[in-house]
Structure 1
Amino acid sequence: MSDTGDDQRQPLWRQREYMLLWSAQVVSNLGSYAAGIIYPLLVLAITQSPVIVGWVSALRILPYLLLSLPVGALIDRWNRRRVMLVCDVGRAIAVGSLPLAMWAGVLAMPQIYLVAVIEGTLLVFFNIAETAALPRVVPAGQLPQAAAQNQVGFAGAAIAGPALGTWLFGTLGRGLPFAVNACGFALSAMLLWRLRTRFDRRDAAPARDLRAEIAEGLRWLWHERLVRDMALITGVSNFIQAAMPLLLIVLAKRQGASEAQIGLIFSLAGAGGMLGALVGGTVRRRLSFGQVIVGTLALQAITFPLFGWAGSALALGLVFGVNQFVGPIYNVVQFSHRIAMIPDGLQGRVNSSFRLIAYVLNPVGAALCGVLIEHGSALWAVAFFGLVQVLVAGAAWLDPVVRHCPAGPAGAQVGGSGGR
């Protein structure tokens, strides 16, 4: 929570500490969304291989599998602001090396692989530290509102980032989007530097064995069935989402779409996400947790086959926008519910455990999409991932803990859950 008591009675947009943290996220994500589209375009231009594109995408996600658990325990020991600063500076240097290599004429695939791994590794530290930092700058009663505003910021970056990245890539050169991304990380670090909230460990208890601390976070998550089931459901959903960038790019390319039109597809998806983020708070107040989770997954399952029938870049973008509309609503509800349940001293470990489960299949989804496209077709990939989307929606509906969970954040459950 913020050190300033007055902040607790003010709207979020007037709370200095939260707005600095939020602004740093938005600036960082603007560059990330731009580069997220340009990575596949760059590798596809160099190699002409969807499989290699899939592997590069997987490498950016792989650190979550290897590092989430120990990073979560370390974040609960370390100063969360300092971790975010180091990560932003490191990512600025790593990503900034790509345009330098392009301009020098020495860019090679091994460097792209290495930057993908470094960026993915630092992203693990940054995301877990940022999630654990949010309850320090936002009062508990405003966490759902903060989660919704975060989603608005992410959606805004998702609208502007792809359009900016593809325009820079196609008009001013392949290296410029990565330079913009690096500058975004640097600006994010400057904003984080201005934070005054204390992010060091609140209790003076000595750190225990790292394995014991990791196990404590895992046990807490596993004994909280709602959190555990949501981690599993989110993991399968993210498996599908990890395939989307490559799948949409290939579908658009085979229709003859230009880089600018591909950017439009992802910007329309971002616009759908923005609309979902804006209504997410209202939906959370009016519907139960279960209704939101099952309903959003069902809508994505209904829209998925339309990717195979869309006959133009505009149609792909509109379908993608509808598909992504429900993502922020899902995220606002499950994130605010979860973070309100977790004790402060376990935020890093439980959220890292959750994210390990939630992201464990992402590299598989990205790589498998490339294999299905190269050895089958894009329509094969649409059919496969569409079927998985139906199955995950059905699993959520059949789960009584998810389906019957009441509306609102779980703040009332914190006392009962914290002892586990």
Structure 2
Amino acid sequence: MTSTSHITPGAEAPAPVPPLRRNRDFRMLWVGAGASLLGTRVAVAAYPLMILWGGGTPADASLVAFATLLPQLLFVLPAGALVDRWNRRRAMLICDAVGFSGMASLVVALLFGEVWLPHVMLVAFLDGAAVIVYRLAERASVRHVVHPTHLGAALSQNEARGQSTGLIGQPAGTALYSVFRWLPFLFATVTHLVAFVTLLTVRRDLQDERVKPRRMLTTEIAEGFAWVWRHRFMRSAILLVGGSNLAFQVINLTLVLIIREGGHPPYMVGLLGLLGGLGGLLGALGAARVMRRVPVQAILIGVLALWAVLIALVAVTTLPAGLGALMGGMAALGALLNVAAATYQIRVTPDVMQGRVTSVFALIGSGLNSVGALLGGVLLSAAGTSGAALITAAGMGVLAFLALCVPSIRRPPVE
């Protein structure tokens, strides 16, 4: 006997959802954000070359690097609150205009041979601040341009885009600078213009209607913290991820020292970064498929446990090819966890809280990085590379055990 589906007379069957590749608004948002990110990474790669090969000192180059990173410390929390206040499309357009103007001013300065360190620092600072606002706004906007069933795949493509720009940005910035000193910054100028134009072509609204009156910025920032704290799964997960990021600051330094102590040339460090980037790209591309079969809490526990194993193997591996394979595996797992966490967070967070909750994740998740760098120096001095890797692996194993034991992680979260 064959079964037939029953449709109420007069009712229309739901229209099929077009595949994500045919979603024009998502494509335009994806291409524009990717262009903007690539231009910024090319420019960041070219900053130290412009300074050091332009007659500046290492101290000058460090000042530019400081100006580039400072917005991450100063602006990530207020940027999240402002993204929830402002019109997201308008905020991203302004960010692209700031990036376009800053990079164009560097092109002009280089063409006329009038490079001034405070000018470069100002451009690096403003572009860094604009990138923070842009990325928070773009991430919060994705749910408004894709069908709910496509959210995981869309964020997987976004993660792959980020991994790809990381792979391309450094060599592209160096290659462009070797042709003309101003070429990397002209490239960044053009990419900001591309992002501006593509964003104008996105037809859908990028946010829900705002109905609540504005309050003090500090009050709205505190609401973001409070919302995350009340959500037990997210609260526990972000603390575990923050601990894992601390551990990876130790491992990154450990890998560099293993290469040096093995007598290998410095470019082998770049090879590790390349293999790590390729691993991250593969992990991002496969994340949507894994997420259809494995719940987010199992992904978190499994990634922490596998990281512990791979980090322990660092202690007994000396060949660059082996270290590169371990680096690629760890990066692939990291990309998978990034996509899974972002998908879950966007699904459960109210639209009016998206920017603030994402900024809290960014601050807690990456806030321990500087501490991890200091801890790495202490561990490596006291225990050497093998000892530091084993201690770090043990710490990651503890995080995996905690994730397995904590009820708010072990139980399936409700979306």
TM class, shorter-chain normalised? Answer: 0.7 to 0.9
Distance 1:273 1:80, change over 3 A: same
Cross-structure match for 1:416: none
Q: Does 1:343 align with 2:350?
A: yes
Distance 1:200 1:327, change over 3 A: closer
Shift of 1:136: 1.3
Residue 89 of structure 2 is aligned with which of 81, 94, 115? 81
Distance 1:126 1:363, change over 3 A: farther
Cross-structure match for 2:204: 197
For 1:92 and 1:247, the matched residues in 2 are separated by 38
Question: Is contact 2:17–2:147 with CA below 8 Å preserved after alignment?
Answer: no
State how 1:107-118 maps to structure 2 within 5 Å.
107=115, 109-118=117-126
Distance 1:42 1:288, change over 3 A: farther
Shift of 1:285: 2.5
Distance 1:349 1:194, change over 3 A: same
Cross-structure match for 1:398: 402
Specify the code of the residue in structure 2 equivalent to 1:62. Answer: L
For 2:372 and 2:128, the matched residues in 1 are separated by 16
Aligned-residue Cα RMSD (Å) equals 4.0
Cross-structure match for 1:26: 34
Distance 1:201 1:394, change over 3 A: same
Q: Does 1:326 align with 2:316?
A: no
Distance 1:57 1:76, change over 3 A: same
Single out whichever of 233-242 and 248-257 deviates more from structure 2: 248-257
Q: Does 1:165 align with 2:169?
A: no
State how 1:16-415 maps to structure 2 within 5 Å.
16-39=24-47, 47-48=57-58, 53=62, 57=65, 59-107=67-115, 109-169=117-177, 171-173=178-180, 175-199=182-206, 201-239=208-246, 255-257=264-266, 264-304=271-311, 317-363=324-370, 368=374, 372=377, 387-388=391-392, 390-399=394-403, 400-401=406-407, 403-406=409-412, 412-413=414-415
Shift of 1:184: 2.0
Shift of 1:353: 2.2
Question: Is contact 2:80–2:357 with CA below 8 Å preserved after alignment?
Answer: yes
Single out whichever of 33-42 and 140-149 deviates more from structure 2: 33-42
For 1:166 and 1:220, the matched residues in 2 are separated by 43
Question: Is contact 1:58–1:363 with CA below 8 Å preserved after alignment?
Answer: no
Specify the code of the residue in structure 2 equivalent to 1:395. Answer: L
Question: Is contact 1:228–1:354 with CA below 8 Å preserved after alignment?
Answer: no
Distance 1:390 1:287, change over 3 A: farther
Shift of 1:244: 8.2
Distance 1:111 1:362, change over 3 A: farther
Distance 1:88 1:101, change over 3 A: same
For 1:172 and 1:392, the matched residues in 2 are separated by 44
For 1:228 and 1:131, the matched residues in 2 are separated by 20
Unaligned runs of 5+ in 1: 1-5, 414-420
Distance 1:315 1:42, change over 3 A: farther
Count of residue correspondences: 396
**SS of the residue 2:166 aligns to:** helix
**SS of the residue 1:9 aligns to:** coil
For 2:33 and 2:235, the matched residues in 1 are separated by 27
Unaligned runs of 5+ in 2: 1-13
Deviations 1:377-406 (A, max 9, x none): 8x9689758845652452243131464143
For 2:389 and 2:189, the matched residues in 1 are separated by 33
Cross-structure match for 2:3: none
Shift of 1:84: 0.9
**SS of the residue 1:71 aligns to:** helix
Question: Is contact 2:100–2:188 with CA below 8 Å preserved after alignment?
Answer: yes
Shift of 1:149: 1.7
Distance 1:381 1:112, change over 3 A: farther
Larger radius of gyration: 2
Question: Is contact 1:163–1:263 with CA below 8 Å preserved after alignment?
Answer: no
Question: Is contact 1:165–1:263 with CA below 8 Å preserved after alignment?
Answer: no
Question: Is contact 1:257–1:313 with CA below 8 Å preserved after alignment?
Answer: no
Deviations 1:235-282 (A, max 9, x none): 344445678888878987984445xx7665433322211211122122
Report the TM-score, using the length of structure 2 for normalisation. 0.79
Question: Is contact 1:8–1:139 with CA below 8 Å preserved after alignment?
Answer: no
Percent sequence identity over aligned pairs: 32
Shift of 1:178: 3.7
Specify the code of the residue in structure 2 equivalent to 1:64. Answer: Q
